[in-house]
Amino acid sequence: MEPKMESNNLARWHRALLEQDHDLLREILDENVELHSPTVGTPKLGRDLVHFILTTVFDVFDDFNYHREWVDSDDMALEFSAKVGDRNVKGVDLIKWNQEGKIIHFEVAMRPLRGVQALFEEMNSRFEKAGLT
């Protein structure tokens, strides 16, 4: 069996996330990227807001690890685990890329509910401190 080759987009995503390269993250987000979060009901739109949200989440999560990854052309599903405070969470990042190598759609599904609630509380606190609520 041939080893699975990591796509260029996936490699850039990993570099942005694992190395906390905020400039690279901004570079790979499309200007009109759409983010669907498990903590809010409406999508968040635009590079600046999505960049702020993702960099904040990266800061909130402890012990973040990807476990399984599915890549189908420009679509990816990445299973992860992390801690939010003392809560363990599991989730899936669904990422869609355009032909220019930019993320146009990012959706997160996460469980359990108490972990999602802990994330909501921490993110809401950080949004308030940043004057975004």
97: nearest Cα among 33, 48, 42: 33
Cα–Cα distance list, 26 to 51, 65, 77 (Å): 6, 21, 20
pTM: 0.90
Tell me which H or E stretch contains 132: none
**Which pLDDT does position 7 carry in this prediction?**
81
Cα gap 111→119, rounded to integer Å: 11
Residue 1 confidence class, pLDDT cut points 50, 70, 90: very low
CB 79 within 8 A of CB 98: no
**Which pLDDT does position 3 carry in this prediction?**
40
Which residues does residue 111 pair with via DSSP β-bridges, in sequence order?
Answer: 90
CB 102 within 8 A of CB 96: no
